[in-house]
Structure 1
Amino acid sequence: MAVCVVFCSVCDARENSEDRPHIVLVMADDQGWGQTGYYGHPFLKTPHLDDMAAHGLRLDRFYAGGPVCSPTRATVLTGRTHERTGVMSHGYPLRLQEKTIPQALAEVGYVTSHFGKWHLNGIRGAGVPILSNDERRPDVFGFQHWLSVTNFFDMDPLMGRRGKPAGVFEKKRGDSSEVVVSEALRFLEEQLMKNPNAPTFTVIWFGTPHAPWASLESDRDPFAKLSFQAQRHYGELVAMDRSIGALRSGLQKLGVADNTLLWFSSDNGGLPNKDFQPTVGQFNDSVDGMVPLRGSKGTLYEGGLRVPSVIEWPSQIEPKISQFQAGAVDIFPTILEVVGLPEETMLPVHDGVSLCQLFDGESSERNKPMGFRWNGGGAWIHGRYKLVVLNTSKNPKKSKQNKESQELFDLVADPTESKSIAQEKPIIFQNLMREYALFSASIDESMLGRDYPLGRLKASDPEPKRWTSDETIYTPFRKVFGEEQKLLNELTKPTKSD
């Protein structure tokens, strides 16, 4: 089904760069659906994100691109479900043949930049500065400027910047979220001074609240009665929320807030480990970041896929709360319509829809089902019904199912996915199974490169590497990275006050 190409009044085609809005995409790392003040978290306060939600389009049924990190990042940049892009799971590299948002926007005059976590260059393990000779660094995919890290990062990060010789890094001081927002705002100010009429596209991908956690004592203080891990976990989220406030305030000071589309989301559901429970000794299936949803990061249930999301564009979007089914897969087609670029800007096989229809008013139902395939299993959401197909094989590269691993849920009547209704609704179940099978078959074709102009893959993509064990261009700097890891370990240790 094609993406909507009839422009709504808010998203009228903008042919001149001066008429096009600034665009800022912000993404948390492992923030669960319920980890916001506006969803009533029992401990965590997020006043700045709450204010953004109160003044923007709050998407209460927004889905990540996948249940773990790299897949969602690939989906955001391409508008395609992640396995089509070669990003099977965390740490897999994005294929060089993909078409991305920054590439499309740079061609029509946007200044594009990336700040923070990347995780699309095929390297796993703790985050380290991206090298300027990395074959899959951000500028290869259209980011003209970047200050980035391979994976998650924390307090006082060591970062790599485009244009610096390989091995020349920048040591930053302070909370990681505040560091990247400060750097992004400084860059935006410089660009606006150079050319106030040039639109900008900025991506800020936080390392928060991915473990391990290192947060300021003042940010931990409100949670002093909670467990050591919870204090640091929530402390990171407090700092991230404050950085969102600084970003919004900074856009106001620069005079561009009214004409800036600011989009916040998270890359996947929150974490399942017992250390993430609010108090020591709580062992139950309701992880605080996903309550009341079932599941967590790494699962295909709502708690693993559904995440907080808000779009703020003061001059164009009236505040509202939407229950429309939306997701990371819709970001690229939405931006295309906002900017006035044709659907053909994306690869011919893509999976999202434009959300511009929500800017003016509510659409009753998504006109295109949403699918996920991950770790040998999958999920398919069509209207109110969701199919979950779990992989019973211990090998994630082999897909094996049985009747017990195939579930159907009514997300309207049962949003917590407490009871499968596959037997009660056999016709709906079989219809969704057929639809999912077609979706899965199309992914198989994409994985062979059928969607690319060549009709095949140019070259084989590398398996994910761990810089700590594999010979890569990062190996010569292992000692430097090891020293940084020691510093981080000290920051994450309990103190006398804990």
Structure 2
Amino acid sequence: MREELLISRRGFMLAGGAALAAAARAGGGPAAGGVPNVVLCMTDDQGWGDVSYNGLKAIRTPALDAMAAAGLRFNRFYAGAPLCSPTRGSVLTGRHPNRYGCFMPGSPIRAQEMTIAQALRRAGYRTGHFGKWHLNGVSGPGKPIAADDPLSPGKMGFDEWLSVSNYFDTDWTFSRKGELEKHVGDGSDVIVAEALKFIAAAVREGRPFLAVIWFGSPHSPHKPLPEDQKAAGGSAYYGELVAVDRAMGRLRSELRALGVADNTLVWFNSDNGATPAGSNGPLRGHKATLWEGGIRVPGIIEWPAGIRKPATTDVPACTSDIYPTVLELAKVTVPNQITPLDGLSLVPLIEGRMERRAAPIAFWHNPARAGGQLNTATGHAALCDNRYKLHRLPDGNWQLYDLVEDISEKRDLAAEKPEIVQQMKTELLRWIDSVAASYRGEDYRRAGIPFAPATRPAGPATAPAARPRRQQRQQARRRRQ
């Protein structure tokens, strides 16, 4: 194994700038065959109110504001779940995470799932993942991921990856395809610099690319650079968002320097609502709940070649829509696609032809499970259409809210509108039954994919240097039991 590399933030900027300049001289231009390049950016615990364009006053977010002003800004963009690992699964698969057992932070994805990286790589895209992964069944602070981890980014379709299992802050040790590298500086700066080097290489090769940039901020414990915390008025939480916005600004400017910004679709969103440290604006609830504050998040698509006229939309959209949207734009058809998909393609919305969502968005948080089965009567579930949102609360009660008139979910309309409740209830319960069938493996069997009830194949979860710490914690837990 190579020695750990100490790479400074300034060194990153210089090396990255040289690589970008060389790629620009080599000639960038549109991706091959007229398909777009794709960059998927996601923050960690950033609330709907944590951007200036939604009213944030604690700091300014000029890069995100510029994206929102230039592209397609979603007023109702939803994380697929109110927690990080499940939402990440929905981005990669277009399917609700409960279908493959990804229920909570640290839950693994199933190896049987088809990911957006696997699909695009088959179509000739270069694929790269940078930052937080959190789909290989490892909890706690971000740890390097072993090359032979069966659920590593590499095994799930990424050619290149500089990743850790969970959140990260400054001066962190990452895994580059299983090899340890320590990077000095803010983590948001680091992963964007690495993504840009990957992008520059793809441009030199004349290849379309998928770059997935998953930030570790502003997840606790909030340890920004001192100058970023100072710029945020002393707030460590918003100091991390200062760095995220700076990194997004660099991404946008250097895509332009490479000459590929026009035909590169940049999709930005958060993985769930904010904790009480951040802002969900007027929305009820917070991270880990299915109230709007737990799942409605900032959402922006910037794609100059495809979105020539800036727009703001109230059409509901979700992280599960990313997979079918990108595959349609990339002209990719997946043979024997695992179904059902929960997302739908937003290409008509991008093209200005969608005024209403054709199918509602369903959510189901933390159902009880045992013996390879989900208890369909448990957990908080919800269904959102273009106007109404129906909740099935954990106690079994049903509540209905008009999100057009009542964004804060203050007035329960269930008693006033029983017909709407019954219609949405029937649809939600039918969907829950389909999710329970998926969890049992019926989707895989229908597609002819071998499946055993175990949710995670055997194999190391972290890079070798991280294993002793994990073993020590396991031994400590056993001693406490």
State TM-score, norm by structure 1: 0.82
Q: Which residue of 1 aligns with 2:8?
A: none
Distance 1:316 1:472 in 2: 40
Alignment partner for residue 134 of structure 1, among 140, 149, 174?
Answer: 149
Distance 2:41 2:470 in 1: 26
Residue type of the alignment partner of 1:41: L
Confirm whether residue 148 of structure 1 aligns to residue 163 of structure 2: yes
Distance 2:462 2:246 in 1: 36
What percent of counterpart residues are identical? 45
Alignment partner for residue 414 of structure 2, among 412, 417, 422?
Answer: 422
Confirm whether residue 460 of structure 1 aligns to residue 454 of structure 2: yes
Q: Contact between 2:70 and 2:302, CA under 8 Å: does it hold in 1?
A: yes
Distance 1:187 1:60 in 2: 32
CA separation of 1:113 and 1:463: change in aligned 2, threshold 3 A: closer
Q: Which residue of 2 aligns with 1:350?
A: 341
1:448-467 Cα deviation digits (max 9, x unpaired)? 111112377335114999xx
Q: Secondary structure at the match of 1:358?
A: helix
Confirm whether residue 390 of structure 1 aligns to residue 399 of structure 2: no
Q: Which residue of 1 aligns with 2:221?
A: 212
Q: Contact between 1:134 and 1:473, CA under 8 Å: does it hold in 2?
A: yes
Distance 1:154 1:328 in 2: 24
Distance 2:260 2:232 in 1: 36
Distance 2:181 2:438 in 1: 38
Q: Which residue of 2 aligns with 1:493?
A: none
Alignment partner for residue 78 of structure 1, among 79, 85, 93?
Answer: 93
Distance 2:461 2:37 in 1: 37
Q: Which residue of 2 aligns with 1:158?
A: 173
Confirm whether residue 372 of structure 1 aligns to residue 363 of structure 2: yes
Q: Contact between 1:450 and 1:456, CA under 8 Å: does it hold in 2?
A: no
Confirm whether residue 381 of structure 1 aligns to residue 384 of structure 2: yes
Show the 5 A alignment for 1:43-62.
Answer: 43-62=58-77
1:280-327 Cα deviation digits (max 9, x unpaired)? xxxxxxxx5112000100000000000001101111202111111111
What is the Cα deviation at residue 478 of structure 1? 5.0
Distance 2:95 2:101 in 1: 11
Alignment partner for residue 313 of structure 2, among 312, 319, 322?
Answer: 322
1:380-434 Cα deviation digits (max 9, x unpaired)? 1122110111213xxxxxxxx2x3xx21111111111001111111111111111
Distance 1:455 1:340 in 2: 24
Q: Which residue of 1 aligns with 2:400?
A: 408
What is the Cα deviation at residue 361 of structure 1? 1.3
Q: Contact between 1:92 and 1:463, CA under 8 Å: does it hold in 2?
A: no
Q: Which residue of 2 aligns with 1:308?
A: 298
1:89-148 Cα deviation digits (max 9, x unpaired)? 211111011111111111110000100000000111111111112111011111111010
Distance 2:441 2:242 in 1: 43
Q: Secondary structure at the match of 1:335?
A: helix
Q: Which residue of 2 aligns with 1:188?
A: 199
CA separation of 1:458 and 1:63: change in aligned 2, threshold 3 A: same
Q: Which residue of 2 aligns with 1:4?
A: none
CA separation of 1:301 and 1:343: change in aligned 2, threshold 3 A: farther
Show the 5 A alignment for 1:256-271.
Answer: 256-271=260-275
Structure 1's unaligned 5+ residue stretches are 1-15, 277-287, 393-400, 466-470, 483-498
Structure 2's unaligned 5+ residue stretches are 1-30, 367-378, 472-481
RMSD: 2.1
Q: Secondary structure at the match of 1:113?
A: strand
CA separation of 1:212 and 1:255: change in aligned 2, threshold 3 A: same
Q: Which residue of 2 aligns with 1:490?
A: none
Between the two proteins, the alignment pairs up a number of residues equal to 426
